[in-house]
Structure 1
Amino acid sequence: MSDETHVPERPATFREVFAQREYRAVFAATVLTWTGDYLAKAAVTLLVYQQSQSVALSAAAFATSYLPWLLGGPLLTTLADRYPYRTVMVVCDLVRLPLYATIAIGGLDTPVILALLFAATLANPPSQAARSAMLPLLLTGDRLIVALSLHASAGQAAQIAGYVVGAGIALYSPALALLINAATFGLSALIIWFGVRHRPAVPPEDGRRHLLRETAAGFAMVFGTPVLRAIAILVFCAMLFAIVPEGLAAAWATELVGTGAGRSATQALIMIAAPAGFILGGLLVGRGLRPELRRALIRPFAVLAPLALVPAVFNPPPVVVALLAAVAGVAVAGLLPVTNGLFVLALPQGYRARANGVMNTGVQVMQGAAVLATGVLADRFTIPRVVGLWSLAGVLLMLLLALRWPAAQRFDAAIAEARRRSEQAATPVPATPGRPAEQRTPPPNPRPPSSEAGIGAV
Structure 2
Amino acid sequence: MEATVSDQRPAEESPATFRDVFGQSEFRALFAANVLSWVGDYLAKAAVTVLVLRETQSVALSAAAFAASYLPWLIGGPLLSALAERHRYRRVMVLCDLIRMALMVLVAMPFMPAWSILGLIFLATLANPPSQAARSALLPHVLTGDRLVVGLAASTSAAQAAQVVGYLAGATIAVLNPSTALLLNAGTFALSAALVRFGLRDRAPSMTEAHRSHLLRETAQGFRIVFERPVLRAIAVLVFSAMLFSIVPEGLAAGWAAERTDGGMDTGTAQAVIMAANPIGYVIGGLLIGRLATPARRLALMPPLAVLAPAVLVPSLLDPPPVVVALLAAACGFAVGGIVPVANGLFVQALPDGYRARAFGVMASGTQILQGVSVLATGALAERFTIPTVVGLWSAAGVLLMIVAAVTWPRPATIGAAVDAARAESAAGNGPPTAREPAGGDRGREPARHRHAVT
What TM-score do the two structures reach when normalised by structure 2? 0.94
Superposition deviation, residue 449 in structure 1: 4.4
Distance change (3 Å), C-alpha of 1:327 and 1:441: closer
Distance change (3 Å), C-alpha of 1:205 and 1:298: farther
Give the Cα–Cα distance (whole angstroms) in 2 for the partners of residues 252 and 441 of structure 1: 48
1:217 and 2:221 equivalent?
yes
1:92 and 2:83 equivalent?
no
State the one-letter code of the partner of 1:254.
Answer: A
**Structure 2 counterpart of 1:327:** 331
State the one-letter code of the partner of 1:66.
Answer: Y
Superposition deviation, residue 412 in structure 1: 1.0
1:188 and 2:179 equivalent?
no
State the one-letter code of the partner of 1:236.
Answer: F
SS of 2:158's partner is helix
Superposition deviation, residue 204 in structure 1: 6.7
1:26 and 2:17 equivalent?
no
State the one-letter code of the partner of 2:413.
Answer: Q
**RMSD over aligned Cα atoms:** 1.9
Superposition deviation, residue 378 in structure 1: 0.1
Does structure 2 conserve the Cα–Cα contact (< 8 Å) formed by 1:6 and 1:141? Answer: no
Does structure 1 conserve the Cα–Cα contact (< 8 Å) formed by 2:262 and 2:321? Answer: no
**Structure 1 counterpart of 2:438:** 447
**Structure 2 counterpart of 1:4:** 7
1:246 and 2:250 equivalent?
yes
Q: Alpha-carbon deviations, 1:218-253, whole Å to 9, x = none? A: 001101111101111111011001100100011111
Superposition deviation, residue 442 in structure 1: 6.2
Give the Cα–Cα distance (whole angstroms) in 1 for the partners of residues 119 and 262 of structure 2: 36
Give the Cα–Cα distance (whole angstroms) in 2 for the partners of residues 443 and 76 of structure 1: 20
**Structure 2 counterpart of 1:118:** 122
Matches within 5 A, 1:257-296: 257=261, 262-296=266-300
Give the Cα–Cα distance (whole angstroms) in 1 for the partners of residues 265 and 174 of structure 2: 20
Superposition deviation, residue 26 in structure 1: 0.2
SS of 2:173's partner is helix
1:35 and 2:39 equivalent?
yes
- Tell me the number of residue pairs that the alignment of Structure 1 and Structure 2 aligns: 441
Does structure 2 conserve the Cα–Cα contact (< 8 Å) formed by 1:81 and 1:202? Answer: yes
Does structure 2 conserve the Cα–Cα contact (< 8 Å) formed by 1:231 and 1:343? Answer: yes
Does structure 1 conserve the Cα–Cα contact (< 8 Å) formed by 2:246 and 2:332? Answer: yes
Does structure 2 conserve the Cα–Cα contact (< 8 Å) formed by 1:310 and 1:392? Answer: yes
Superposition deviation, residue 107 in structure 1: 2.4
State the one-letter code of the partner of 2:213.
Answer: R
State the one-letter code of the partner of 1:6.
Answer: R
Does structure 2 conserve the Cα–Cα contact (< 8 Å) formed by 1:70 and 1:361? Answer: yes
Superposition deviation, residue 446 in structure 1: 2.7
Distance change (3 Å), C-alpha of 1:396 and 1:104: same
Give the Cα–Cα distance (whole angstroms) in 1 for the partners of residues 209 and 289 of structure 2: 36
Superposition deviation, residue 443 in structure 1: 5.6
Point out 4+ residue stretches in structure 1 off by more than 2 angstroms.
1-9, 257-261, 440-446, 448-451
Equivalent of 2:322 in 309, 318, 321:
318
**Structure 2 counterpart of 1:177:** 181
**Structure 2 counterpart of 1:201:** 205
Give the Cα–Cα distance (whole angstroms) in 2 for the partners of residues 365 and 387 of structure 1: 19
Distance change (3 Å), C-alpha of 1:339 and 1:185: same
Superposition deviation, residue 121 in structure 1: 0.1
SS of 1:100's partner is helix
Give the Cα–Cα distance (whole angstroms) in 1 for the partners of residues 297 and 251 of structure 2: 32
State the one-letter code of the partner of 2:217.
Answer: R
**Structure 2 counterpart of 1:47:** 51
1:58 and 2:62 equivalent?
yes
Does structure 1 conserve the Cα–Cα contact (< 8 Å) formed by 2:306 and 2:402? Answer: yes
Distance change (3 Å), C-alpha of 1:441 and 1:399: closer
Does structure 2 conserve the Cα–Cα contact (< 8 Å) formed by 1:206 and 1:442? Answer: no
**Structure 1 counterpart of 2:363:** 359
Equivalent of 2:167 in 146, 151, 163:
163
Distance change (3 Å), C-alpha of 1:339 and 1:442: closer
Q: Alpha-carbon deviations, 1:56-101, whole Å to 9, x = none? A: 1111111111100000000000011100111110010011011001
1:72 and 2:63 equivalent?
no
Give the Cα–Cα distance (whole angstroms) in 1 for the partners of residues 373 and 257 of structure 2: 21
**Structure 1 counterpart of 2:429:** 425
Give the Cα–Cα distance (whole angstroms) in 1 for the partners of residues 260 and 433 of structure 2: 61
Q: Which runs of 5+ in 1 are unaligned?
A: 427-439
Does structure 2 conserve the Cα–Cα contact (< 8 Å) formed by 1:245 and 1:270? Answer: yes
Distance change (3 Å), C-alpha of 1:193 and 1:299: same
Q: Which runs of 5+ in 2 are unaligned?
A: 446-455
Give the Cα–Cα distance (whole angstroms) in 2 for the partners of residues 401 and 344 of structure 1: 20
Superposition deviation, residue 448 in structure 1: 2.4
SS of 1:200's partner is coil
Give the Cα–Cα distance (whole angstroms) in 1 for the partners of residues 248 and 153 of structure 2: 22
Does structure 2 conserve the Cα–Cα contact (< 8 Å) formed by 1:160 and 1:272? Answer: yes
Does structure 2 conserve the Cα–Cα contact (< 8 Å) formed by 1:206 and 1:441? Answer: no
1:401 and 2:405 equivalent?
yes
SS of 1:11's partner is coil
Distance change (3 Å), C-alpha of 1:310 and 1:443: closer
Give the Cα–Cα distance (whole angstroms) in 1 for the partners of residues 99 and 129 of structure 2: 13
Give the Cα–Cα distance (whole angstroms) in 2 for the partners of residues 376 and 209 of structure 1: 43
Q: Alpha-carbon deviations, 1:381-432, whole Å to 9, x = none? A: 0000000000001001100110000011111111111111111224xxxxxx
**Structure 1 counterpart of 2:234:** 230
Does structure 2 conserve the Cα–Cα contact (< 8 Å) formed by 1:103 and 1:178? Answer: yes
Give the Cα–Cα distance (whole angstroms) in 2 for the partners of residues 281 and 261 of structure 1: 27
Give the Cα–Cα distance (whole angstroms) in 2 for the partners of residues 98 and 209 of structure 1: 32
State the one-letter code of the partner of 1:288.
Answer: L
Identity of aligned residues (%): 58
Does structure 2 conserve the Cα–Cα contact (< 8 Å) formed by 1:306 and 1:394? Answer: yes
Superposition deviation, residue 444 in structure 1: 5.3
Does structure 1 conserve the Cα–Cα contact (< 8 Å) formed by 2:253 and 2:271? Answer: yes
What TM-score do the two structures reach when normalised by structure 1? 0.93
Distance change (3 Å), C-alpha of 1:417 and 1:206: farther
